[in-house]
A and B are shown apart, each in its own frame.
Chain A
Amino acid sequence: MKNAPKKFFIISLTLAAVFSFLFIFAAENKEGVEKFDIYLGAVWVFILSFIIALSLAHLFKKGEQDKKKF
C-alpha cells in the first residue's frame, strides 16, 4: 500500500511532462507566441495536468478498493 502513492506520483509526473511537451509543440506552431508565453504556459499546463493525473489515479485506486470490498 505504501508504494501506491509513489507509483501514482511517478505516473502523474510522467503524464504531466507529456502534456507539457504537447502544449509546447502546439504553442510553437501558433503564430505570434513569444518564448516566455510558451514557458509560462508549459509550467502551468504541467502543474494542472499533474494534479489532474494524481486525482484520477486516486479515483482509480478508490474504485479498485470499492470493487474488492464487494
Chain B
Amino acid sequence: MAVKEQQISIKGMHCASCATNIENFSKTLQGVKSMVVNYTTQKGVVSFDENITSAGIIIKGITNALGYKITLASERDLDEESRSYQKEIGQQRNYTIFSWLLAVPIMFGTFREFWILSSFVPAFLANSYVLWLLTTPLMLWPGRQFFVGTYRGLKHGFTDMNLLVATGTGAAYLLGVVNTVFPNLGFGGSEVAFFETAALLIAFLVFGRYLEVLTRGKASEAIKKLMGLKVKTARVIRDGVEQEISIDEIKVGDLIVVKPGEKFPVDGIIRKGYSAVDESMITGESIPVEKKEKDTVIGATINLTGLIQFEATKIGKDTMLSQIIKFIEDAQLAKPKIQKLADKVSGNFILIVHILALLVFLFWFFVGYDLFFVSGAKFLLSSITLSAVPVSVFAVLLSITVLIISCPCAVGLATPSAIAAGTAKGAQYGILIKGGDALERASKVDTVVLDKTGTLTKGKPAVTEIMDVGSLDVIQILQIAASAEKGSEHPLGGAIVKAALEKNLVLSPIDHFQAIPGHGIEAVIDGKKIYLGNRQLMKVKNAILSNLVEEKMQKLEEDGKTVMILAVNGIIEGLVAVADTLKENSLAAVSALQKMGFKVLMLTGDNWRTAEAIAKQIGIQDVLAGVLPENKALEVKKLQQQGRTVAMVGDGINDAPALTQADVGIAIGSGSDIAKEAGQIVLVKEDLRDIINAFNLSKKTMRKIKENLFWAFIYNAFGVPLAAGVLFPWFKVLVSPELAALFMAFSSVSVTLNTLLLKRYKFKYL
C-alpha cells in the first residue's frame, strides 16, 4: 500500500458543515484513507492509496457529486485565487444589495397598515400578488444558492445548513403563494402572506454570508501575504553573463546578483558583498541584520544597502519561505481534540434540529395552540400582532423558526478560525506551530526541558578570559596564540583567531606549525618556540606550571571553561580560557519561565562540571548532564511518568527523539532540519523568549476556541427554546423567522470577529 498525501484548494464552501460533508463523502470513495478540510482557509488534505486511486479521480468524484471546485494545492495560482476570492465577495455583495432592495419594499408593503407606513407606502405594494412578484426574483437569484446546495447534499444523503435555510424559506414562500392564489383555503389568506418572512430570511442570510466571506479572507490572509513575498524573477550569472530568469529556472549552485532594495529570490550563501538585510517578514525581527561573505540569506528578505552576489542553496519548495507556508497550511488542517467534540455536535446537529422542529410542530399543533394561543400575540422586538392564524400555520411558523435559528455554522467555525488566526499570528513573529494539536498541548505545558548546546548556548566556543602570568600582557598573549593557531582547524583555535581578529590584531607569520592531537599545538614565530595546549603538553615540553598558575586554571575549569596554556620558549606566559557562551536572551527567557511557574530543567550530553557551570550562570537548579542522545527521550519520558506535561526545546539531530517524545517539541530554527521536522513548534529566530510567546499564544488561542464554542453553543442554547415558543405561554411573544435569521447570521459573524481579536494580540519580550 502506497499512501500519499495531497493538499487541495476548495472553492464554493459556504459553511463549516460543507467541510464536514466533503470529509464524509471522500471517505466513501475507494482508496481514500482520510480527508481533512478547513472551511476557514478553504483548504484540505486527502490521504489515499496510490495503487487504488489518484488525486485526480478523488477531485473529480467530489466535484461531480457535491459541486465544489477543487484544485491541487501545487497548482495553486495566487493571482487566480485572489481574483476568485474578490469575485466571491462581489457576488455576495451583489446578492446582499439585491436582496435588501427587494426585501425593504416587501416589508413595507406587508406592514403598510402599521405605524406611519401607510402615509408614504403606496397601496399597490400591499397587494399580495405584487409581494409575490417582488419575492420571486429574490428566491430565484440570491436564494438559489441554498436550494442548489440542498439538492446536491440530498442527492448524496448529506444535510447541511442549506437544507435548514431551504426548508425554512421554501416553506414560507410556498405558504405565501398558496395564501395568495387560494386565499379562502384557510391558511390565513392574503392577510398573512409570509412573503416578507421568506424575503427577510434570504436577505439576512445572504448578508451573513457576505460578512462571513469578508472575515474568512482576513483569517487566511497571513498565508496570502507570505505567498505574496515570493519573487518572480532573478538575475543569475551564467557563463559570466548576467541574465534575468524566472525563479522556477534557478538551480542550486547558481550565482545570483541582488541589488540594494531588491529581495533575495531563494535561500543561499553570500559569496561576494556586504549588506544589511531586512528579515522582518520571515523572522519578525525588526532590526536589519548585517550580512557578509559566507553568511546565509533567506529568500524573500530584502537586501537593504550593498550589492550582493550569493549562491543558491535551496530552491522551490525547499526554501524557508515555502517551508513556512507549508508549515502553516499543514497546521491549519491539523485538528485539536477539542474540535472533535464540536465536529460531532455540528455533524449531527442538522438531524437533531429537524427532529426538534418536528416535535415543536407536533406540540403546537396538537397541544400548545389550543392551550396558549390568544389573538394579539406578538413577535419579539416587533409591533406586529398575530390575530387569526390557523393552528397549522402557527405550528409551521414556530417549526421554521427553530430550523433557522439552529444552524450550527458558528460551532463549526469556532475552532478552525481560531487555529488559523493563532498559527498565522505565530508565523508573523517567527513562531511556527504545527496545528491545533500542538497548540492544545502547548497550552497545558508545566515543565520545560532545555537542551544546552546550541539552545541555551551559542554552540560555538569563544574566548572568555585571557590571564597574564608572565612578562607579556593580555593583548600580546592573544596575538601570539592567534598567530600560532592560524593554521589550526580545531574549533578552540578558531575561537582564539576570531577573538584576535575582532580586536583588529595583526597576526604574525609562522615559520613552523605542528598539531599534537589531544594536547595542543607547537609553532615557531619570529624564531620563538610557542606551545599552546593543555597540562599534558606542558609536561611533555618541560614547561613548569607554578602553584599560582595551577590555582587560576582550576578556578576557570570549575566554571566549565577549557583552559589553554601559552608557553614561549618554555616559559609559561598566559592562560586563554575558551567556553561556549550563553545566547543573548537565554537568561531572560529562563528567569521569565521560572517566574511564570514552569519547572525548568537543563538536559545535556556534556559533562557535569560544564553543565553545572552553565546552569549556575543561567539560574537552573535541575540539571541532567552526561545524558547520551538515545537517553534524552528516556529522561523526558520519566518526567511525563511523573504526571508532567513536558516541552522539550532543542536544536540538534541528537535532540530529535526527545523532541518527538515530549508533549510539545520546540525546535530552534537555526538547528538541524531533523530537529525541525521532529518539533511541533519551530522558533525561526534564535530568541528563546519566543518559547514564552509560543506558550502564551497557544493559551490565548485555546481560550479563544473555548470562548467561540461557548458563544456558539450559548446562541443555540438560548435561541432554540425561544424559537420553540417557551416564552409564549406566559408572555405571548414569539421569535419571528426573520429575527432567527438575524441571530443565526450574527452568531457566525460574532464568532469570527471574536477570533479576529487575536490579531490585536502583541508579543512581549521581557
Chain A CB within 8 A of B350 CB: yes
Interface residues of B in 145-193 (CB under 8 A from A): 154-159, 163, 167, 171, 175, 185-187
> Which of B159, B362, B390 interacts with A37 by CB under 8 Å?
B390
Partner of A34 from the list B28, B186, B365, B395 (CB cut-off 8 Å) is B186
B-contact bits for A1-42, CB 8 A (1 contact / 0 none): 100110011000000000000010011001011111111110
Do B358 and A52 touch across chains, with their CB atoms under 8 A apart? yes
Is B396 at the interface (CB under 8 A from chain A)? Answer: yes
Q: Smallest distance from the beta carbon of B653 to chain A beta carbons, Å?
A: 36
| B 200-241 binary contact with A (CB < 8 Å = 1; else 0) | 000000000000000000000000000000000000000000
Give the chain A neighbours of B357 by CB distance below 8 A: 48
**Contact: B157 with A36, CB < 8 Å?**
no
Contact (Cβ within 8 A) A30 B154: no
Q: Does B692 lie at the interface of the complex (its beta carbon under 8 Å from any beta carbon of A)? A: no
Q: How far is the CB of A66 from chain B (nearest CB, A)?
A: 9
Asked whether A48 and B157 contact (CB < 8 A) given A34-B186, A41-B392, A56-B351, the answer is: no
| Contact assessment for B399 and A5 in the assembled complex, using a CB-CB cutoff below 8 Å | no
- Bound-state CA distance A40–B397 (Å) is 12
Inter-chain contact A59/B361, CB cutoff 8 Å:
no
Q: Which residues of A have CB within 8 Å of B362?
A: 23, 45
The SS class assigned to the B binding surface is helix
| Cβ–Cβ contact B358 & A54, under 8 A | no
A-B pair number, CB within 8 angstroms? 84
Give the distance to chain B from A6, nearest Cβ to Cβ, in Å: 10
Query: With A and B bound together, what is the CA distance between A47 and B354 in angstroms?
Result: 10
Chain B residues positioned under 8 Å from A62 (CB to CB): 24, 27
Query: Which chain A positions have C-beta within 8 A of B350?
Result: 55
Complex CA distance for A63 and B154, rounded to whole angstroms: 18
Cβ-defined contact, A52 with B392, below 8 A: no
Chain A residue nearest in CB terms to B395:
A41
The listed residue (B27, B158, B171, B365) touching A47 by CB distance below 8 A is: B171
Report the bound CA distance from A38 to B186 in whole Å: 11
Contact with B along A47-61 (1 / 0, CB 8 A): 111011011111101
Tell me the B356-407 residues at the A interface (CB within 8 Å). 357-358, 361-362, 365-366, 370, 390-393, 395-396, 399
Would B28 and A36 count as touching, CB distance under 8 A?
A: no
Known contacts A1-B28, A55-B159; is-contact A34 B390 (Cβ 8 Å): yes
Interface size counted on chain B using CB atoms at 8 A: 35
- For the complex, give the distance between the alpha carbons of A24 and B393 in Å: 16
| B27 adjacent to A58 (CB under 8 Å) | no
User: Looking across the interface, which residue of chain B has its beta carbon closest to that of A36?
Assistant: B186
For the complex, is B726 an interface residue (Cβ under 8 Å from A)? Answer: no
CB contact under 8 A between A40 and B351, given known A48-B357, A52-B358, A54-B154: no
> In the bound complex, do residue A5 and residue B155 qualify as a contact, i.e. CB atoms below 8 Å apart?
yes
**B390 in contact with A36 (CB, 8 Å):** yes
Shortest beta-carbon distance from A13 to chain B in Å: 11
A55: chain B residues at CB < 8 Å are 159, 350-351, 354
Most B Cβ at <10 Å: residue of A23, A54, A56: A54
Q: Which residues of A contact B28 (CB under 8 A)?
A: 1, 65
A16 CB, nearest partner CB in chain B, Å = 11
A5, A38, A40: the one contacting B396 at CB < 8 Å is A40
Closest B residue to A5 by CB, please name it: B157
Min CB gap B64→A, angstroms: 12
Distance between Cα atoms of A45 and B395 in the complex (Å): 11
Chain B window 497-515, contacts with chain A (Cβ cutoff 8 Å), 1 for yes, 0 for no: 0000000000000000000
Whether B366 contacts A30 by the Cβ 8 Å rule is: yes
**CB of B355 closer than 8 Å to a CB of A:** yes
B536 located at the interface, meaning its Cβ lies under 8 Å from any Cβ of chain A in the complex: no
**Minimum C-beta distance from B190 to chain A (A):** 15
Contacting pair A45 B391 (CB below 8 A):
no
Which one of A30, A39, A61 lies within 8 Å of B157 (CB-CB)? Answer: A61
Residue of A at shortest CB range from B399?
A44
Q: Is B118 an interface residue (CB 8 A)?
A: no
Cβ contact within 8 Å between B167 and A59: no
Residue of B nearest to A37 (CB): B392
**How far apart sit A5 and B348, CA to CA, in the bound complex (Å)?**
18
A8 CB contact (under 8 Å) in B157, B186, B365: B157
CB pair A40–B358 under 8 Å, yes or no, is no
Contact partner, A54, options B159, B348, B390, B392, Cβ 8 Å? B159
State whether A41 touches B157 (Cβ < 8 A). Answer: no
Question: Using Cβ atoms and an 8 Å threshold, which residues of chain B touch A38?
Answer: 392
Residues of B within 8 A of A58 (CB): 157-159
Q: How far is the CB of A45 from chain B (nearest CB, A)?
A: 7
Closest to A38 in B: B392
Complex contact B154–A40 (CB within 8 A): no
Cβ of B354: which chain A residues have Cβ within 8 Å of it? Answer: 48, 51-52, 55
* Besides A36-B390, A54-B157, 5 new A-B residue pairs in contact (Cβ under 8 A), listed by A number: A1-B28, A34-B186, A48-B357, A58-B158, A58-B159
Q: Which residues does A use to contact B, with CB under 8 Å?
A: 1, 4-5, 8-9, 23, 26-27, 30, 32-41, 44-45, 47-49, 51-52, 54-59, 61-62, 65
- For the complex of A and B, 8 pairs with smallest distance between CB atoms: A37-B392, A36-B186, A55-B351, A40-B392, A58-B157, A48-B358, A41-B392, A52-B354
Q: List 5 A-B contacts (CB under 8 A).
A: A9-B157, A37-B391, A44-B399, A51-B163, A55-B159
